[in-house]
Structure 1
Amino acid sequence: MGNADSITERKMSDEIPLVPTIPPGLRDAAQRGTLVPFVGAGVSILGGCPSWGKLADDALGACIKAEKFNHGQHEQIRHLTPRMKLSIARAIEAEHGLTIDYAKLIQSDDYSSNVVGRRVYRSLGKLGKTFVTTNYDSWLDTEIVDTEVSVQDAPPVADSTTATPRARRRIIDVNDFTPANLAQDNCVFHLHGSVYDSPGMIMTTRDYIQRYANDRRSDDPTRENRTLTFLEFLFQRRTVLFVGYGLEDLEILEYVVQKARQQSGSGPPQARHFMLQGFFAHQYDLMRSMAQYYAQCDIELLPFRRDQRDWAQLIEVLDHFGSIMPAKSALALQKQTDMEDLLD
């Protein structure tokens, strides 16, 4: 019996949870106002936006519709990565003076009425006061408030605190990627641009290279890579929670995390970071390997199990996290520390 019990205990301990346990460091960061959710495509897909692969194919489809590309050519490149396909679509645009309506491809006219999207972004919105995203869509640009109670369930006296949707400040200009703006509540940093400025979206290989060039902080403001300076400050002075990044996003994460670490040197970071990521039960060994990989980037993996609800399980995780550790504004002491660091 003892051997059987030990096997059962091992299996139970090896099981990926449906909802991860909230680490004390993550809860503490939310309470101190230093938690910054870093949002990826997996979240926007739940809100009805396309995957990278679909966006790339839809962009090429727009080129075909405009008769600047054809199905035979599309078939020849169907095995390329989404970023390579988007690079080709951008090149076709430039060559033929074509304008692809990326905003239309990324979010439909009625995207904001998507029930699932509203739920996931409502819960996500409780975890931070300021957000960073590599997504182009505008889901994060507006706070999604809690659903109002029905007339039958309403209290006798009207609740004067009932929230209304509030716009967050959309930051897409790299010159505004500053620690000072990071200290402000209700801001969204779109690292790779926004549908509201389609020409400026970071999509092609050249775009990525330029955005994450190895230029270091310089006394010459014209040479400073403001994105890397911003990320350096973010990872050193805030606790980051990556949400909506899957294994297919490793390339993007390496651009973001590794470049920032190179920028900040070899010293240990002052904040601990976390990543929510979904796995199937049979991927336990993969999950352990990925936990070791992320640990090298000073990121603790928080896995959840996808078997029952697939990626929709992320909604349950965010609901739970939002109810347990709603974010607060940064404490005055934290803001003072930030300012002192910037002056040094």
Structure 2
Amino acid sequence: MSGHVFVVGADLVRLSCDDVLVPTDRSLRVAPGWCPLLPASLVSGVVDDGACVDLRWSGDERVLQVPGDGERQVWLVDTVDGRGRDEEQHLEWLLDGARAALAAVARREVPRPAHGRARRLVGLPALGTGWGGAAGRRGALLQRLLPVLRDAALQHGFDVALVLRGPSDLAAAQRVRRGEEGSWDLPPQLCALARQLGDRARRGQLAVFVGAGVSAAAGLPTWERLVDELADASGLAAGLRDGLSALPPQDAAALLARELGRERLESFVAERFGPGSYALAHALIADLPVQEFVTTNYDPLVEQAAGDIGRDVRVLPFQEAAPGSPWLLKLHGDAAHPESVVLTREEYLQFGDTRAALAGVLHSLLLTRHVLFVGTSMLDDDLVRIAHQVRSAVQAPGSAGGRRNGTVLALREDPARARLWERDVETVAMGPADLRAAEAARRLEVLLDLIGCLSTPPTGYLLDPAYRGLLDEEECALADALTRAAAAVREDSASAAAQEVAALLRRLGSGSSAARPADGSTEVEDDRVQEQRPG
């Protein structure tokens, strides 16, 4: 079975992967931002320019496996050519390094991918765009690197995540992929769905609801597993423990909360659902050009993933929404504010009263947007109540009834549940009922990857000189005209009109190359630096 190549905005230090490729040179220097992936005992001489790794090359090899017992296997890849090759030879040399690295990764046996994923996931940056010297030819590199990654995924059967941090880099990579056939192994009906949802996202008509299934891919517990973990922590007597499974989930949680006490319960939630590595699905969702997100999850992984590509997601109701900024509504509370967590039957009942304003936000989205539900079984009492209220509103006398307000991405076919919700949402399964859950979840990731590709604005790299080679004749003429206009616009201008024009030019990639100094110390994508991008 062939693997898939994902293109995603993320931080490779925090993206959950089985293997990560880290760029280096013959002296085994790495950018300081990569150090959290390396055993502390192997890192020496950390300076502004880089950190030295206490290993040695063997002969002329270009790939070195880093010893360690972490959840991710790190591989050092030599991307700095000191032999004075011309541009074409240098680019091919970089691609040879990527091939050698992926072949070495394939030789390592991985009996069980991280967090039960169906295939192992190999993450890498755009190799060669930092010390490697290919920063000015990113367009040519992406056009050649993506086929190399696809060949490796086809040959070795693992999935690959090409991780890019800069908006122009992401936009350019998605343009390259849109021009290729067969990059997504999905049934025709899922490809058609991706086109519909991508179009809605591009036009600002899509909102996303994130359920617990998304965070399960990062190793966080589903509701059933959470009850088990709380039972372990509570030391509940065997007889009572056996009876927990017969109780409704909220009642089981109420009993466990009583045994633990509210203070211990809050402490458990704060620790268990605190910051950590996020799953590929978190990054794919955070990359979508969507402004409104809703979740019943307690963890901060969606906002972490968004922050790593420069999206300042405001978390409601704990932060104030900012004009033009995306926001995430946490319906059931936030681990950073454990006193807000909704868990027990009593708290669910209080939700209908004291948290009516929060439910109202989801009401509004279901009435004014198309809501994409990801990672939820649609059995949550609050979702049932909200959907019923919205249905009642749209079926009121004089209203246009019969419309569906969203799409549920289900892992496997469940005709009864789809029929139950058919008046409110369309339920689309990733596969038949006998499809393994892990394979269905992976197909969901591939679908999200395609939605992201189709919804990415095709202009984010227009004024970035590093991607000049991707432009056709008409686009080149347009880019030249806009570049002349950019020279007349002062970023510090007090004119509102100038500020609007400057913002537009930034969205078109103006200043992207200037934001990539030779020392690679910026927050945008660079194979030397993996540091959190400021919001």
Report SS of the residue matched to 1:47. coil
**Bigger RCO of structures 1 and 2 (CA < 8 A, at least 6 apart):** 1
Query: Closer, same or farther in 2 for the Cα pair 1:142/1:189, shift >3 Å?
Result: same
Which sections of structure 2, spanning at least 5 residues, go unmatched? 1-185, 459-535
Report SS of the residue matched to 1:259. helix
- How far is 1:225 from its partner? 2.9
Q: TM-score, length-normalised on structure 2?
A: 0.44
CA distance in 2, matches of 1:90, 1:264: 38
RMSD: 3.4
Q: Where do residues 1-344 of structure 1 align in structure 2 (5 Å cutoff)? A: 19=190, 21-22=192-193, 26-64=197-235, 69-94=236-261, 100-107=267-274, 111-112=276-277, 114=278, 117=279, 119-127=280-288, 128-144=290-306, 164-173=309-318, 181=321, 184-213=324-353, 225-246=356-377, 249=379, 251-262=381-392, 266=396, 267-268=399-400, 272-279=405-412, 283=413, 286-287=414-415, 289-297=416-424, 299-305=425-431, 307=435, 309-326=439-456
- How far is 1:55 from its partner? 0.7
Report SS of the residue matched to 1:56. helix
Contact 1:172/1:194 (<8 A) preserved: no
Query: Closer, same or farther in 2 for the Cα pair 1:91/1:260, shift >3 Å?
Result: farther
- How far is 1:139 from its partner? 0.8
1:198 maps to amino acid? P
2:284 maps to amino acid? S
2:450 maps to amino acid? H
- How far is 1:305 from its partner? 1.5
Query: Closer, same or farther in 2 for the Cα pair 1:246/1:30, shift >3 Å?
Result: same
After TM superposition, the runs of 4+ consecutive aligned structure 1 residues lying more than 6 A away are 15-18, 95-98
CA deviation vs aligned residue, 1:272-295 (integer Å, no higher than 9, x gap): 42111111xxx4xx33x4433322
Query: Closer, same or farther in 2 for the Cα pair 1:277/1:164, shift >3 Å?
Result: closer
CA distance in 2, matches of 1:125, 1:22: 19
CA distance in 1, matches of 2:245, 2:339: 24
CA deviation vs aligned residue, 1:49-107 (integer Å, no higher than 9, x gap): 1010111121122221xxxx333321232332332221112223448977542122335
Q: Partner of 1:3 in structure 2? A: none
2:423 maps to amino acid? Q
Which sections of structure 1, spanning at least 5 residues, go unmatched? 1-14, 146-162, 214-222, 329-344
Higher helix residue share: 1
Report SS of the residue matched to 1:136. coil
Contact 2:214/2:375 (<8 A) preserved: yes
Query: Closer, same or farther in 2 for the Cα pair 1:120/1:231, shift >3 Å?
Result: closer
Query: Closer, same or farther in 2 for the Cα pair 1:182/1:35, shift >3 Å?
Result: farther
CA distance in 2, matches of 1:140, 1:242: 14
Query: Closer, same or farther in 2 for the Cα pair 1:169/1:125, shift >3 Å?
Result: same
CA distance in 2, matches of 1:325, 1:16: 19
Report SS of the residue matched to 1:142. helix
Q: Partner of 2:160 in structure 1? A: none
Contact 2:312/2:325 (<8 A) preserved: no
Report SS of the residue matched to 2:337. helix
1:321 maps to amino acid? I
Contact 2:377/2:410 (<8 A) preserved: yes
Larger radius of gyration: 2
- How far is 1:18 from its partner? 8.5
CA distance in 2, matches of 1:95, 1:301: 37
CA distance in 2, matches of 1:260, 1:238: 13
